[in-house]
């Protein structure tokens, strides 16, 4: 029988190889367990009574879905008592969430988008959870917003779980990017791809084209040249894929390459962009870079952006390295 590597074994071996501490291993196990609960809730769909609006709004001014709220609660509860965290921040909460006094505190800060792509939940399209792990600064026991505001390069781990036809956890602790598929009978994540490599070149891209009239000139030119295809300046045909779940779009890139773009445009420039740096762009940038891809704002490496707020938004261009570099060339011309 071919040997399967459960997530636990993978993490223990990574710990033995000096790639993580037992505390980080526990943190990842706990997040993975929470993702299993979220996966269960999502897969019940209408039968579980989990679809539809929660009737509340979040700090982003967005209407929350029932599953946004539930996923946030599952992640908070799972991470409260393990003793591995000093604090938690979430897309769904304005301020950092303290670890209850009843429990010991650890050295890590956990940030997450509990459910990404939630506009897709009710139509049964893939959604996901994104998370990022930072170190709590020395001597800080009650972390405040300022302690979370560290650049992406400071991340010690990042990952996402995609709830699709299968549930897949994609993880990095800074030694490559690896994928684990949930065996639903066993309730165990099993290593299904070690050292994912994102192809450097691609002919596939993802962007919300309905924003075209709001795009900057360089985005107009860049996408125009892709659309011109074989007889245009790029000399090849390109294909569009847009799921509107960042997790699902990034997972496609992890699987077969491509680019994902949410540039700043006239519609969202005031806010800085559409996607959030701390729990969407940075963890995805870490995962994509560890798989040999690139992630940028168009003018700066994503992981070097200095965060100015927990919910700060940024332009995002990530994926196949050479195509991301092409976008940056166009951005420099403006």
Interface residues with ligand AHG (CB under 6 A)?
A: 62, 91, 113, 116-118, 208, 244-246, 274
Q: Which is nearer to ligand AHG, 14 or 254 (CB)?
A: 254
76, 84, 116, 243: residue in contact with Mn ion (rule CB under 5 A): 116
On whether the CB atoms of residues 106 and 83 are closer than 8 A, the answer is yes
x/- letters, 41..80, toward Mn ion (CB under 5 A): ----------------------------------------
Q: Which is nearer to ligand AHG, 191 or 268 (CB)?
A: 268
216 part of the interface to Mn ion, by CB under 5 A: no
Q: Which does 244 bind (CB under 5 to 8 A by kind): ligand AHG, Mn ion, none?
A: ligand AHG
On whether the CB atoms of residues 73 and 34 are closer than 8 A, the answer is no
- Residue number with the smallest Cβ distance to ligand AHG: 246
Q: Which is nearer to Mn ion, 159 or 199 (CB)?
A: 159
**If you ran DSSP here, which 8-state letter would residue 4 be given?**
P
Q: Which does 208 bind (CB under 5 to 8 A by kind): Mn ion, ligand AHG, none?
A: ligand AHG
On whether the CB atoms of residues 294 and 268 are closer than 8 A, the answer is no
Q: Which does 203 bind (CB under 5 to 8 A by kind): ligand AHG, Mn ion, none?
A: none
**Least gap, CB of 208 to ligand AHG (angstroms):** 4
CA atoms within a 13 Å half-sphere pointing along the CA-CB vector of 209: 12
Report strand pairing: 53-57 vs 85-90. Answer: unpaired
**If you ran DSSP here, which 8-state letter would residue 6 be given?**
B
Tokens 């929660």 correspond to what residue?
54
**Least gap, CB of 130 to ligand AHG (angstroms):** 8
Burial-class residue 12 by CB neighbours within 10 Å (0-12, 13-18, 19+): middle
Main-chain dihedrals φ then ψ at residue 211, nearest 5 degrees: -90, 5
Which of 286, 299, 288 is closest to 321 using CA atoms? Answer: 288
Task: Extract the runs of DSSP E, i.e. beta strands, from 194-325.
Answer: 204-206, 239-240, 259-262, 275-276, 294-296, 313-314, 316-319
**With CB under 5 A, what is the number of residues at the site for Mn ion?**
4
111, 113, 147, 238: residue in contact with Mn ion (rule CB under 5 A): 113
**Least gap, CB of 83 to ligand AHG (angstroms):** 29
Which of 192, 188, 129 is closest to 163 using CA atoms? Answer: 129
Rule CB under 5 A: which residues touch Mn ion? 91, 113, 115-116
């Amino acid at each position: 029988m071919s040997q399967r590597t459960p997530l636990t074994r993978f993490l223990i071996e990574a710990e033995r190889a000096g790639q993580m501490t037992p505390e980080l291993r526990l943190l990842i196990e706990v997040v993975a367990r929470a993702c299993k609960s979220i996966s269960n809730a999502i897969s019940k769909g209408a039968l579980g009574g989990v679809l539809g609006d929660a009737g509340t709004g979040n700090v982003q001014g967005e209407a929350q879905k029932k599953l946004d709220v539930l996923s946030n609660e599952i992640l908070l509860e799972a991470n409260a008592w393990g003793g591995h965290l000093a604090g938690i921040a979430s897309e769904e909460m304005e301020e950092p969430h303290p670890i209850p006094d009843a429990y010991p505190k650890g050295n890590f800060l956990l940030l997450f988008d509990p459910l990404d792509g939630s506009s897709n939940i009710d139509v049964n399209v893939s959604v996901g959870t994104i998370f990022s792990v930072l170190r709590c600064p020395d001597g800080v026991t009650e972390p405040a917003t300022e302690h979370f505001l560290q650049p992406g390069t400071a991340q010690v781990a990042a990952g996402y779980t995609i709830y699709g036809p299968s549930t897949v956890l994609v993880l990095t602790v800074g030694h490559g990017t690896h994928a684990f598929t949930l065996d639903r009978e066993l309730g165990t994540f099993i290593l299904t791809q070690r050292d994912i490599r994102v192809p450097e070149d691609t002919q596939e891209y993802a962007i919300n084209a309905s924003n075209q009239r709001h795009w900057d000139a360089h985005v107009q030119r860049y996408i125009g040249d892709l659309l011109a295809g074989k007889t245009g300046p790029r000399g090849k045909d390109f294909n569009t894929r847009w799921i509107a779940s960042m997790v699902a779009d990034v997972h496609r890139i992890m699987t077969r390459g491509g680019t994902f773009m949410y540039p700043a445009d006239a519609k969202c420039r005031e806010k800085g962009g559409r996607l959030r740096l701390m729990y969407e762009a940075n963890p995805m940038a870490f995962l994509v870079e560890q798989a040999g891809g690139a992630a940028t704002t168009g003018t700066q490496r994503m992981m070097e952006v200095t965060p100015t707020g927990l919910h700060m938004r940024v332009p995002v261009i990530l994926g196949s390295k050479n195509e991301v570099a092409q976008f940056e060339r166009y951005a420099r011309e403006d």
